[in-house]
Structure formats: structure tokens, C-alpha cells
């Protein structure tokens, strides 16, 4: 059992937080593995041929009854406390991974009576019991039927009553009103700025917090009718994840094998090591016990920011974030004695490194603007007040990051702005001061690594897509150069600049240089043999899919960090491979023999075995408004693709994008996303300008005064998907977070009629006011991304796309905007909570104002009566209670648990005309065009709340919002379902997973490395738009591939974006030197905050 830590959405300024104890769970020791000498997989990654015990979440124990739920929660969502006073005792979550045994009828009755929708949790088990009983007792079938018949007759009568009746207008809430307080001032351009909601930035103002509470309560009530669907989705999510999932492992210099793993039912991970000789496992850090320890039990948020090991593997330092603001409190554990040291560091960013003698640590501190600005050294056992400041970054546009070199000899300190960087180093073997390696030069970036006698340097100096050179280490030169310019003259070019190949990252081994490249939206790995002269011997690692993702190291950041130094003297490259259809694989690639071994693979559980051949992915190309070709990656269920039906039927579609900071949005597998795909969704990623999928020039075409290109590209991809028949405006939802939220906000202002619903998290939407306010964290840092509004041209450009500035009240009043679900974080250090708060307040205020104007003008509003405008009051209905519409949507599969769609009519389609589709809503009423605007603010940070199961509950709510607003099936459609109008299945066969566990087929064709010595690089020819209807079956078979969301919806429990490793999704790949998206670690940029 575990405790789910909640970030309250309704009682944000309540001082008390209830606490709950978590029962300890003894982890089982995985058996010894007999693989490579250095890298050993754990028991959770045995080949499929080896039988595994079946884990079931159902339990008959008393502790799993409703009166003692398996997981309790500190704080609850809005719906849990909206009927009580603020500060009232929170109620436990109703969704759970367990339910009472079917043999315990009193407990079962209490379980369902307390929350009737809990019936959904036990229906599958009831069906199994009924089936088993009838098989074992065939003579009772008649008696069973006589009892079931009564229930079915009641259901039919109830359905008929609902269909015939037209209930009175439901008692629904009025949307919250926020009183405007007009403020105005003159900017530097002598233009008057008006802002009626500027006061909402007052975090400590009780009226502001009250307004947040009202918005949270309103969104909870509006989404109340989705609770049964949320529970169904949650059950699907939990059934697919590997609740005992372990990470890949690595054997370190002390002979121990290190790894992390989950414990079934627990929210957080445990960190373990095992002696390969004895097989004895030691748990040295249990995040669940830590989260519920006296030091952290009262916190509303818990996230383990990092775990770093000393060189001798005797100490481990771990950082804990208790608010979501990324300020870590650091403690130290002695792994030999298991004692926690007295040392405690506060306000530490995610970078911390030990000296090689383990006597001290180097760490960076955050200032009041959440900027890492100081490098300090702490001697273990000494007073923290005596820690030495080694470097202080005075320029507020620069941010410090730190890492250890691959060979472990140096600690590298980078001082970076958006487009400029400077590098320093400190010997990890001596207590020196930082030495400048490369001085800063405007608009030039550097990434440095040490390789014995050489420094390898990647730079964009006079090269947009970067090139690499090396220079001798200063302490190895005799005589030593007198200046940087003199030293620079000793450089040797390693990789020349190429116009159409972007170098994203690199790693060094004793005998190899590993380069991660990207060309035409595809990633590649280049291996260079450093023992050969002139860097002439190299080969590429090839992959069989056309839409895939890969990144250095493994998913788990602690193990990835340990592997970096452990692998330096080997010929092994470890990387992670995934695609839309391939679960994540951690692969060890032998760079000499060119063979691969999968040491870890994400396991997909579930009631229906996962079959990748059921799904297909494609890379499409839309034409932008200026003629630019924009790539699109998408995935769908082959048998549910509506454009292959006769006649064609548009699919519900979720279109996701980011488009900022040169970050790449990559296709990754997601077990949770299967719940959308199995309901007929098409999931698409628009690789718009502002990212770097097509190189750094692609990025530069979507920043500063060229930022509108990002939004135009996104709109063009949406139009293309509709034109090509994948979806339609009435079936299209869009998603983006942070800077991607700016994209969503700008797009709905530009083309509100093009989208049916919009989901955005922590959106950056008040661009002008934010960029003028230098007191806000990161504003100076952001000038090089968005521009400085004191420049008139930049200011005018910002005005043209700023979502907050361009809210269109008339179009809101006419219900032309999509349904919107907006999520923010009260403690977000990157996008302040008041940005989404002000945005929603302004949209509500402008809509009310324009409705009054239109009433006076006698205009008819959608969903309103034809007469008597003066008495009209139009408000949002809750889901399933929409009124007065005439055009219900159609499920992609006739008769499979549809939800109503508030969309344009498709009733002329024979698929609909020949079906028994009920044109009424869930309650029998007709549906309206009224659109919802929903806001959820939690008290977490940029990554959302924490906890594996809490994350899944949040995700279930977001998915339910999308499914309902798009009118998609409520229930998943299992492969093999016979449709009334069956589609013609797509041609092409799935090429198989990337590789097979433990190298049973180390040379699997889909991932067999292609040895191409000296092959010329891509000529960078731009792809032309592909006509779907004329694609050959061979082209289709090449694109048979397939990524969480982990969209961080606001349920309000402790969670750091991503939660369960199996559903952690990457968003953007950024070099460590640039913080990007208000900054995060490299692995976070890869893996977190993905829908």
C-alpha cells in the first residue's frame, strides 16, 4: 500500500494537510543474471518464453476494503471538498487499484453504495464469475437466465424512458465570475496597456485563492458526468502497466549491481543494489518510506529530484522537492552503515557531483528568480554555512548547469543563455577553483567533454547545425599557450558542418566517439573509431522503422548517470529505442562486433495482449501557408481508420505540438495512449517550425519576429489532416503544454472553428505582460527566444499572436471557440499560475460582455431560444447534459458505447442512417453547441503533481474530457470487432520490434546495424507532400510504427510529470547547456510532460 500525496485544488490556502501512513512492502530479490560482465538485466526483463507469476490487484483482505483503501490521499480534487468548508477533512480517493472480494458481499455492498460508479470496477470480475458458474453448472443456466432477464428488461425499459422523456433543465452551476479591476499604463512605445485582471498575480491574496477554488469546483462539477468513464480509463491504465517494473541495471566498481524498481501499489520507486555473488538485495533508498517520514509527511508534494553516488560508491546524495518549485533539499546516506548524515543542503538545483575522493560535493544554488547562479563546494561533515562559493554568475540572462566528464576526471560547469554559452572545468581529484575553458562569445554555444589528453568541443560557431573539433588539454601541452586564440590554433576538426545534419549530442568511450544526429526529422547514431587515423573509420546504426525515437542512456536517470562512467572503458553504447508501436527498449550496442542486446524492455500488460501489428504509424507532410513542407507523425488502429471505410468516416484525432526552444517532439510509445487508439483516435504530432526536427534553421524560422510561422504551421497541419480524411474539425482536439500552450492559445484565437476541443497545461499565454515584467523569473533569459518587447517590431509581433491579448469575446459569445480544459500549477517557477488564471478570467468576462451586446442587437446565439432574448441566460452545461442541438456525431464504430459529439452533422452517412444511433444526449435531451471553458489549478509545479497512480487518475480525467467532447466510443474496441460497415484494412505488415530481449535475435532485421564506412551524408533534399491515396503498399509497410501522455492534469496529488516509467513520455530533446522551456534536465526534456 502507498500514500498518494495530493496537491489540493480547492483548499489551496488551507494550512492543514492530513497524513496517512504507508505499510512497508518487502521487495523480492530478483534472481542472478548471467549476461555481460558490466551490464546485467533484472528479473523483470526475462524473455517472453520464461513463465512469470501473474500479479493481481484484487484482494480480499480487510485492509483493502473501502473503509481502509489501499491508497489514501492528502488533499482532494475540487469535487471532494466543494460541499464542505475550506480546510475540512479530505476524503479518500474513490478510484483504487483494488476492490473487495466478490465473496465478501457486505464489503462489496458498502464499496458500491459509497460510490455507485465503483460498479464499473467489478463488472469484469462479475462476468467471469457468471461464466465460470455456468460452465461448471450447466443445469443452472435456465435459472441464471431467468434472473438476468429481469435485469435486462429493466435496462430496456429505462433506456426507452430516457429516450422518450425530455427532462427539465438540469441544475447546473453558473460559471465563476471574476470581477475586473481595470488597470492601465503606458509602455515604452507610449501605447496604453489595459489589463483588467493584473491583480490575479497576487498569490497571497485570499480573494485570488477563493477565485481559484471556485474555478476548481466548477470544473469538477462540469466533469462530474465523466466519472464512470474516468474509472474505466483508470482501470485500463493500471491493467497495462508493469506494477513491479524494474529498470535496467549496471554493475559498478564496488561489484554491486544497481537498479531501481516499483513495488505494486506504491506511488514511488525504491533504489536497490544486489551482490551478484550472494544474490542478496539491499534497498538503500525507499521513496515511499521517505515521502511518509516525519520530515516530509505533511508536505503536499513530493518528488525525488536526483540521486547521485560518490566515486567509491559509499555515499549517495539525494534531493527532494516538496513544492514543485525545483528547489531540492539534499541529504546524504552512508551505504555501508545505512545511516543518514547530518549534512543538509537547501535550495539546490538538480546538479550535484562528488569529488573523486568522496570528501566533498559540488552543487548549484537557485536565486529568488529560480536561476542557478552559484557553484558551491561542501566538505562532507562540515557546517554548510562555511561552504565555499566557487563561481557566481552575475549576468541574469545566464544559467548554470554542471556535469561530470565521461571519464570522471573533471567537473564541467556551463554558463548558458539561450544562444550563448561559456565553459569551465574543475579537476575532480583536487580542490581547485574553476578554470575557464572556452570564454563566452555572443550567439556561440559550446558543449565540451574530456577524453584523456583532449577536449572534444561541439559548437555552432559559424555553423547552424554544429560541428566538432578537439584541442589538447592545457595541462598536457608544453609549452602552454598564452591565450585562448593561441590554444584554439591547435584544434583538429573531428566532424565538419553539414547543412542538413544536426548534431544533437555525443558521448565518448575510450576508443569510440558516439554522435547522435538528426536529418530530415529522423535520428541516427554515428560511431567513430578513435583508434583509426583522421576519424575516417565510422559507421551508422540503422533502424527498420520510419517513425521512431532514440536517446542516450536509459530511462532511469540514476542508472543512466552511473552507466556513463561505468561504460567509459568498454566498447558498449547504451541507448533507449522506442516508436509509436514499439515499447521502450534499453539496448546495449557492441561498437566493435556491431551487435545489439536488449537489457530492458517496457512490458505491456492488460486484459488483451498487446499486438503491435494492429497499429500503424506514418510520416506525412503538409504544405504550410508559405509553401513550407511541415512533417507530421501519426499513429492509429489499422482496422479503425475511418478514411478506409465506405463511405469514409472521420476519426477523432488528438493533434499535439510544441514548437519552441529548438526542442524536438519525438514519437514514443505509451501504454496509456492505447486507450485512445482503441477508441478510434488518430494521434498526431505536428513538427512545426520553432522545434529543430529539420535542423537549427527550422528552429530559427519559428522564433523572435518569425514566431507566427509556428502557429501557421500548426493550423496548416490541422487543415491537412481534415482535408486528407483522417479527421474533421468536429472531431479534432489539440494539446500542448508550457510553450506549447502558447501554440494552443494562439491557434484557437486564429482558427477557433477548426478545433472541437483544446487541452493545455501550464500554458504560457500572457506574452506581452510577462515579457515586460522583469521581476518574473526567466524574463531576461527568454528575450533570445521571444524577443524583447522594448523593440517595437518585436512588440508588434507579440501583439499579433499573444493569446491573452487576442481573446475574441464575440466569437466566444457565439460559441465558435472549442471546448477548453486548462491546467496550471500554483508553485510553477516557469509559467506563473496567474497566466492561465488571467486567461480564463478574461475569456469569461469577454464572453459575458459580448453576450449582452449581442442580446441588445437581437442576434441569435447558438443554443439559445429564437425569441425572448432579454430573458436568455446561456451557460455551459455539464458533459452529457447538453441541450437543444440537432446534429449528434457518430462513433467510429456503430453501436459501441458512443458518447455524444457536439459536432457538425454526419447523419447523411449510410453508416449512421442504417444504425440505431440515438440522436439524444446521455440524458435523452438534444445537444447544444455551448462550449465549456474549464480551469484546474493545483498547488504543484511545472511538472504537475506526483505519484504513479495519482498520475493515472489525472490522465483518466483528461482522456475522459477528450473522449466526451469528441464523441468517441466510451468503451475500447478490441481487435477483431466486426463492424456494421467494416473498413478495408490497410495493407502492409509490421516489421517487428526493434530487437528481442537478451539478444535472442541480436541481429534482428529491424535493428540490424548498417555498416556504411565513409558513406556520404544525406543531401538534405526536402520531402514533398505525400498523397495518401497514391501511396504504395511498400511505403505503407515502412511506416508501421508508433508515444504520455503524460499530460499532467490537475487531479492534485503528489506527482512529478511522468509518474510510472512505462508511461513516461518525452517532449523535447535539448542540449544540457540550454535550459529551454524554462529549463529542465536533459532526461526530463526527453521523457516528461508528454501526452
Query: Would the pLDDT of 515 be above 90?
Result: yes
Q: What is the mean pLDDT of residues 183-189?
A: 91
Distance CA 434, CA 424 (A): 6
Asked if the model's pLDDT at residue 348 lies above 50, the reply is yes
More confident residue, 28 or 327: 327
- CATH, residue 681: 3.40.50.1820
Does 251 have pLDDT greater than 50? yes
For residue range 453-511, list pLDDT tens digits in order. Answer: 999 999 999 999 999 999 999 877 777 777 778 888 889 999 999 999 999 999 999 99
Query: How high is the pLDDT of residue 199?
Result: 94
Distance CA 306, CA 303 (A): 9
Dist. CA 642–CA 365, nearest whole Å = 53
- Please check whether residue 966 lies inside any domain of the structure: yes
Q: Is residue 361 part of a domain?
A: no
Residue at 627 is within a domain: yes
DSSP 642-668: GGGSSS--PPPEEEE----TT--B---
CB atoms inside a 10 Å sphere around CB 171: 7
Number of domains in the chain: 1
Domain that holds residue 1017: 206-221+608-865+872-991+1010-1087
- The band of 929, judged by pLDDT with boundaries at 50, 70 and 90, is low
Segment 203-220 shows an average pLDDT of 94
* pLDDT for the residue numbered 160: 63
Q: Quick one: pLDDT at residue 312?
A: 93
For residue 768, tell me if it sits in a domain. Answer: yes
- In a domain, residue 350? The reply is no
Mean pLDDT of 68-80: 34
- Identify the pLDDT of residue 907: 27
| pLDDT value for 864 | 47
Cβ atoms of 364 and 424 closer than 8 Å: no
pLDDT at 223 over 70: yes
Annotate 958-989 with b (16+ C-beta within 10 A) or e (fewer). bbbbbbbbbbbbbbbbebeeebebebeebebe
Residue 105 burial class via C-beta count within 10 angstroms: exposed 0-12, middle 13-18, buried 19 and up? exposed
Residue 190 in domain: no
Between 1083 and 12, residue with greater pLDDT:
12
Cell of residue 225, nine digits? 458526468
* DSSP H stretches of helix in 897-1032: 910-913, 948-966
Predicted pLDDT of residue 451: 94
Tell me, yes or no, whether 944 lies in a domain: yes
Per-residue pLDDT band for 28 (boundaries 50, 70, 90) equals very low
Q: What pLDDT is recorded for position 860?
A: 56
pLDDT given for residue 98 in this prediction = 59
**Which three-class secondary structure state does DSSP give residue 1066?**
coil
Residue 940 in any domain: the answer is yes
Residue 163 or residue 383, greater confidence:
383
Q: What percent of the chain has pLDDT over 90?
A: 51
**Nearest C-alpha neighbor of 285 from the set 255, 264, 250, 261:** 261
- β 360-366/345-354 pair status: antiparallel
pLDDT at 319 over 70: yes
Which helix (H) or strand (E) segment holds residue 85: the answer is none
Q: What average pLDDT does the segment 60-89 reach?
A: 33
Predicted local confidence at residue 452, as pLDDT = 87
For 821-876, the pLDDT digits (tens) are 999 988 888 888 899 999 999 999 999 999 999 988 876 555 443 333 333 333 33
pLDDT higher than 80, residue 213? yes
Is the four-CA dihedral 369, 371, 374, 378 of positive or negative sign? positive
Render the burial of 1051-1073: b for 16+ CB within 10 Å, e for the rest. bbbbbbbbbbbbbbbbbbbbbbb
Q: Is the confidence at residue 78, as pLDDT, over 60?
A: no
Task: Tally Cβ neighbours within 10 Å of residue 23.
Answer: 13
Q: Which of 471-475, 912-916, 1025-1029 has the highest average model confidence (pLDDT)?
A: 471-475
pLDDT (tens digit per residue) in 976-1002: 654 433 332 222 222 333 332 222 223
Q: How confident is the model at residue 808 (pLDDT cuts 50, 70, 90)?
A: very high
356-366 pLDDT per residue, tens: 999 999 999 99
In the predicted structure, residue 713 carries a pLDDT above the cut 60: yes
Is the model's pLDDT at 153 over the cut of 70?
yes
Task: State the cell numbers at 1014.
Answer: 565513409
Average pLDDT taken over every residue of the chain = 76
Amino acid at each position: 500500500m502507498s500514500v498518494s500525496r495530493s496537491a489540493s485544488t480547492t483548499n489551496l490556502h488551507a494550512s492543514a494537510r492530513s497524513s496517512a501512513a504507508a505499510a512497508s512492502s518487502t521487495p523480492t530479490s530478483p534472481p542472478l543474471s548471467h549476461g555481460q560482465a558490466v551490464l546485467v538485466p533484472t528479473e523483470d526483463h526475462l524473455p517472453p518464453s520464461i513463465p512469470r507469476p501473474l500479479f493481481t490487484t484484487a484482494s480480499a483482505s480487510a485492509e483493502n476494503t473501502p473503509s481502509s483503501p489501499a491508497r489514501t490521499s492528502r488533499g482532494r480534487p475540487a469535487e471532494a471538498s466543494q460541499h464542505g468548508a475550506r480546510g475540512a477533512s479530505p476524503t479518500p480517493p474513490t478510484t483504487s487499484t483494488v476492490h473487495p472480494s466478490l465473496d465478501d458481499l457486505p464489503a462489496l455492498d458498502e464499496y458500491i453504495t459509497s460510490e455507485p460508479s465503483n460498479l464499473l470496477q467489478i463488472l469484469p470480475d462479475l462476468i467471469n464469475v457468471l461464466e465460470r458458474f455456468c460452465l461448471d453448472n450447466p443445469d443452472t443456466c435456465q435459472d441464471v437466465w431467468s434472473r438476468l432477464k429481469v435485469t435486462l428488461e429493466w435496462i430496456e425499459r429505462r433506456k426507452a424512458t430516457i429516450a422518450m422523456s425530455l427532462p427539465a433543465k438540469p441544475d447546473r452551476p453558473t460559471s465563476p465570475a471574476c470581477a475586473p479591476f481595470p488597470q492601465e499604463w503606458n509602455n515604452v512605445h507610449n501605447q496604453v496597456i489595459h489589463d483588467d485582471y493584473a491583480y490575479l498575480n497576487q498569490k497571497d491574496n485570499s480573494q485570488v485563492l477563493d477565485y481559484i477554488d471556485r474555478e476548481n469546483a466548477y470544473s469538477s462539477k462540469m466533469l462530474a458526468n465523466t466519472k464512470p468513464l474516468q474509472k474505466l480509463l483508470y482501470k485500463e491504465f493500471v491493467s497495462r502497466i508493469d506494477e513491479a517494473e524494474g529498470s535496467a541495471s549496471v554493475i559498478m566498481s564496488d561489484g554491486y549491481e544497481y537498479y531501481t524498481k516499483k513495488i505494486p501499489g506504491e506511488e514511488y520507486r525504491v533504489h536497490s543494489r544486489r551482490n551478484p555473488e550472494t544474490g542478496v538485495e539491499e534497498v538503500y533508498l525507499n521513496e515511499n518510506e521517505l515521502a511518509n517520514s516525519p520530515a516530509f509527511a505533511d508536505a503536499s508534494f513530493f518528488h525525488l529530484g536526483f540521486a547521485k553516488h560518490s566515486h567509491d560508491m559509499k555515499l549517495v546524495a539525494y534531493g527532494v522537492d516538496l513544492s514543485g518549485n525545483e528547489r531540492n533539499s539534499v541529504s546524504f546516506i552512508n551505504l555501508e552503515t545505512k545511516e543518514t548524515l547530518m549534512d543538509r543542503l537547501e535550495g539546490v538545483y538538480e546538479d550535484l557531483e562528488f569529488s573523486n575522493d568522496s570528501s566533498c560535493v559540488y552543487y548549484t544554488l537557485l536565486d529568488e528568480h529560480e536561476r542557478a547562479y552559484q557553484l558551491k563546494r561542501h566538505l562532507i561533515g562540515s557546517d554548510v554555512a562555511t561552504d565555499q562559493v566557487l563561481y557566481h554568475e552575475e549576468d541574469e540572462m545566464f544559467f548554470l548547469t554542471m556535469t561530470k566528464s565521461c571519464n570522471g576526471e573533471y567537473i564541467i560547469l556551463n554558463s548558458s543563455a539561450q544562444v550563448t554559452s561559456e565553459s569551465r572545468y574543475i579537476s575532480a581529484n583536487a580542490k581547485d577553483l574553476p578554470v575557464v575553458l572556452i570564454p563566452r562569445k555572443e550567439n556561440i554555444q559550446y558543449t565540451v567533454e574530456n577524453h584523456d589528453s583532449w577536449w572534444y568541443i561541439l559548437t555552432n560557431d559559424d555553423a547552424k547545425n554544429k560541428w566538432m573539433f578537439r584541442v589538447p588539454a592545457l595541462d598536457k601541452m608544453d609549452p602552454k599557450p598564452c591565450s585562448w586564440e593561441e590554444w584554439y590554433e591547435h584544434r583538429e576538426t573531428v566532424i565538419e558542418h553539414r547543412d542538413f545534419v544536426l548534431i544533437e549530442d555525443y558521448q565518448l568511450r575510450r576508443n569510440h566517439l558516439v554522435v547522435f544526429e538528426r536529418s530530415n526529422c529522423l535520428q541516427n547514431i554515428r560511431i567513430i573509431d578513435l583508434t583509426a587515423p583522421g576519424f575516417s573509420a565510422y559507421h551508422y546504426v540503422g533502424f527498420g522503422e520510419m517513425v521512431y525515437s532514440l536517446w542516450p542512456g536509459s530511462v532511469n536517470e540514476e542508472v543512466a548517470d552511473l552507466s556513463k562512467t561505468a561504460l567509459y572503458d568498454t566498447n558498449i553504447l547504451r541507448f533507449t529505442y522506442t516508436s509509436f508501436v514499439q515499447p521502450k527498449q534499453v539496448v546495449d550496442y557492441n561498437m566493435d562486433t556491431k551487435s545489439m542486446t536488449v537489457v530492458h524492455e517496457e512490458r505491456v500488460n492488460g486484459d488483451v495482449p498487446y499486438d503491435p501489428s494492429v497499429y500503424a504509424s506514418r510520416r506525412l507532410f503538409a504544405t504550410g501557408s508559405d509553401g513550407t513542407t511541415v512533417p507530421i507523425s501519426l499513429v492509429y488502429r489499422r482496422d479503425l481508420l475511418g478514411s478506409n471505410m465506405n463511405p469514409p468516416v472521420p476519426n477523432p484525432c488528438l493533434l499535439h505540438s510544441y514548437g519552441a526552444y529548438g526542442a524536438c517532439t519525438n514519437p514514443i510509445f505509451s501504454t496509456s495512449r492505447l486507450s485512445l487508439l482503441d477508441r478510434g483516435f488518430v494521434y498526431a504530432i505536428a513538427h512545426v517550425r520553432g522545434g529543430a526536427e529539420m535542423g537549427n534553421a527550422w528552429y530559427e524560422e519559428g522564433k523572435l519576429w518569425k514566431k507566427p510561422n509556428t502557429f501557421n504551421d500548426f493550423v496548416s497541419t490541422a487543415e491537412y489532416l481534415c482535408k486528407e480524411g483522417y479527421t474533421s474539425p468536429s472531431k479534432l482536439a489539440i494539446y500542448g503544454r508550457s510553450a506549447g500552450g502558447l501554440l494552443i492559445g494562439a491557434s484557437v484565437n486564429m482558427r477557433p472553428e477548426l478545433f472541437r476541443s483544446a487541452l493545455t497545461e501550464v500554458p504560457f499565454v500572457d506574452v506581452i505582460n510577462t515579457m515586460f515584467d522583469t521581476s518574473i523569473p526567466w524574463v531576461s533569459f527568454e528575450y533570445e527566444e521571444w524577443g524583447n518587447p522594448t523593440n517595437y517590431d518585436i512588440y508588434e509581433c507579440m501583439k499579433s499572436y499573444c493569446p491573452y491579448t487576442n481573446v475574441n469575446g464575440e466569437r466566444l459569445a457565439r460559441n465558435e471557440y472549442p471546448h477548453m480544459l486548462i491546467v496550471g500549477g500554483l508553485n510553477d517557477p516557469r509559467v506563473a499560475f496567474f497566466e492561465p488564471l488571467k486567461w480564463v478570467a478574461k475569456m469569461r468576462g469577454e464572453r459575458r460582455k459580448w453576450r449582452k451586446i449581442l442580446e441588445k442587437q437581437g442576434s441569435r446565439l447558438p443554443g439559445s431560444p429564437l425569441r425572448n432574448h432579454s430573458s436568455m441566460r446561456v451557460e455551459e452545461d455539464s458533459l452529457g447534459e447538453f441541450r437543444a442541438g440537432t446534429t449528434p456525431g457518430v462513433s467510429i464504430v456503430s453501436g459501441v458505447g458512443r458518447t455524444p459529439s457536439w459536432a457538425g452533422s454526419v447523419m447523411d452517412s449510410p453508416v449512421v442512417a442504417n444504425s440505431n444511433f440515438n440522436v439524444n444526449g446521455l440524458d435523452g435531451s438534444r445537444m447544444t453547441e455551448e462550449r465549456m471553458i474549464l480551469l484546474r489549478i493545483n498547488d504543484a509545479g511545472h511538472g504537475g503533481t506526483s505519484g504513479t497512480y495519482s498520475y493515472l487518475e489525472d490522465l483518466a480525467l483528461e482522456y475522459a474530457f477528450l473522449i466526451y467532447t469528441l464523441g468517441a466510443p466510451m468503451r475500447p474496441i478490441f481487435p477483431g470487432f466486426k463492424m456494421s460497415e467494416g473498413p478495408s484494412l490497410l495493407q502492409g505488415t509490421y516489421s517487428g520490434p526493434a530487437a528481442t530481449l537478451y539478444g535472442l535475435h541480436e541481429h534482428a532485421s529491424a535493428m540490424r546495424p548498417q555498416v556504411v564506412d565513409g558513406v556520404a551524408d544525406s543531401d538534405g533534399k526536402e520531402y514533398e507532400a505525400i498523397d495518401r491515396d497514391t501511396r504504395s503498399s511498400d511505403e505503407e509497410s515502412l511506416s508501421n510504427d508508433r508515444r504520455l501522455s503524460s499530460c499532467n492534469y490537475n487531479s492534485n496529488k503528489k506527482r512529478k510529470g511522468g509518474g510510472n516509467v512505462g508511461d513516461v513520455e518525452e517532449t523535447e530533446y535539448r542540449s544540457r547547456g540550454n535550459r529551454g522551456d524554462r529549463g529542465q534536465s536533459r532526461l526530463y526534456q526527453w521523457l516528461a510532460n508528454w501526452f
